[in-house]
Amino acid sequence: MQIQINDMLRAYIEPLTEAEHEALERSLLAEGCRDALVLWGDVLVDGHNRYAICQQHGIPFKVVQNERFQSMEDVMLWMIDNHLGRRSVSDFQRGVLALRKKDILAKRIEEDAARIKAEDAAITPPDSDIDAAAVPKVRTSREDIARAARLSSNTISQIEKIQKTATPELVEAVRTGTISINAAATVATLPAEEQVNAVAGGKKSLQQAAKEVREQRAASRPVKPAKPAPWEDGGEPPSQPDQPLTEVEHLRAEVAELKAKNAALRAENAELRERIDQLVDAS
């Protein structure tokens, strides 16, 4: 059989890094190709890297047919589930795969609903409602997708943001682990040119860019009014010192005040983050 390579399927899963490819090549040369390649007809579904290495070095391999595939979408869903179960897949890759699965399932729901509506229209008035029980129940909520990827709903939201607004350079940086998902989602809010410049500057530049965005957000939030001093509510004001404060004492007082404001801002920031997570989970 002449095995066919579908370029879309070959590119559907994130490629191996150079180190991963070298490790796989060493393993195949030392132990042979122990796992069979998965085919759909004559199309290669799983084992593109193993197939290429085996062809290069003349290593024998086995193939197995998957008879359950009915469409290209079935193939893609199988590939996604197969990779989600692997330990070597990073959090970002798992999130991307889970979101791809969500898109495929959501599309199927729409197609099934349209098909049922068309079938009903042939025997019932056009204005009648679609039988909800007839539409397959498929879990596509953010919580379900997060559970499938073994990630939090907040992380899934951050990956969605990265996919929508991040430049290819920033996506590659988070894919290779140069920057965390959380920080990448923050940097992705910057204009494209600034994202590219941050990536070009390396890991420290990316971290600094994320820090500056967070600081700007914190500075733009309104500060809660300070609680009135006891004497402003009718109490007795503190006794005034006989001697004016020295410069050192003034500075110490300012430092103490700034520390108090900083603590209040941190508490407010934590509260807002918790509220955001709750809103995201509820959406």
pLDDT given for residue 78 in this prediction: 94
Q: Is residue 176 domain-shared with residue 158, that is, in the same domain?
A: no
The better pLDDT of the pair 122, 241 is held by 122
Q: Domain range for residue 269?
A: 254-283
Alpha-carbon gap, residue 4 to 45, rounded angstroms: 10
Residue 131 lies in a domain: yes
Position 130, amino acid: I
- Across the range 272-281, mean pLDDT stands at 66
Of the listed ranges 41-45, 189-193, 238-242, the least confidently predicted one is: 238-242
pTM more than 0.75: no
The three-class DSSP label of residue 37 is strand
Is the model more confident about 282 or about 263? 263
Residue 230 lies in a domain: no
How buried is residue 50: exposed, middle or buried, by Cβ count under 10 Å (0-12/13-18/19+)? buried
The pLDDT confidence band at residue 135, using thresholds 50, 70 and 90, is very low
Q: What is the mean pLDDT of residues 269-282?
A: 67
Same domain for 96 and 159, yes or no, is: yes
Asked whether the predicted pLDDT for residue 270 surpasses 80, the reply is no
Residues 98 and 160 in one domain: yes
Query: How far is 178 from 107, CA to CA, in rounded Å?
Result: 33
For the segment 77-86, the average pLDDT, to the nearest whole number, is 90
**Distance in angstroms (rounded) separating the CA atoms of residues 126 and 118:** 9
17 plus 32 within the same structural domain: yes
**What is the model's pLDDT at position 65?**
95
Q: Burial-class residue 126 by CB neighbours within 10 Å (0-12, 13-18, 19+).
A: exposed
Last residue of a domain, one of 120, 139, 164: 164
Q: Is 201:134 a contact under the CB 8 Å cutoff?
A: no
Q: Is 41 left (phi over 0), alpha (psi -120 to 50) or beta?
A: left
pLDDT cut 90: percent of the chain above it: 48
Q: pLDDT tens digit string along 15-32?
A: 888 888 999 999 999 999
DSSP-assigned beta bridge partners for residue 99: none
pLDDT of residue 251: 67
In this structure, is residue 78 part of a structural domain? no
Report how far residue 221's alpha carbon sits from residue 212's, in angstroms, rounded to the nearest whole number.
15
Is 188 within the bounds of a domain? yes
276, part of any domain:
yes
Flag whether pLDDT at 230 surpasses 60. Answer: no
Last residue of a domain, one of 70, 104, 122: 70
The verdict on 172 and 139 lying in the same domain is no
Residue 279: predicted pLDDT: 64
Tell which of 164, 187, 203 closes a domain.
Answer: 164
Q: What pLDDT score was predicted for residue 225? A: 65
* DSSP tag of 141: S
- Picking from 95-99, 192-196, 223-227, 240-244, which range would have the lowest pLDDT averaged per residue? 240-244
- Domain assignment present for 51: yes
Q: pLDDT at position 282, please?
A: 56
pLDDT of residue 144: 82
218-227, 229-238, 253-262, range with the lowest pLDDT: 229-238
- 57/120 same-domain check: no
Q: To which residue do tokens 């002449």 refer?
A: 2
The rounded mean pLDDT for the chain is 82
The total domain count for the chain is 4
Neighbours of 266 (CB within 10 A): 11
Residue 243 inside a domain? The answer is no
Query: What's the mean pLDDT in 32-58?
Result: 95
How far CA 215 is from CA of 103, 227, 272, in Å, comes to: 35, 24, 14
Please report whether residue 228 resides in a domain.
no
Cα angle vertex 77, ends 76, 81, to 5°? 120
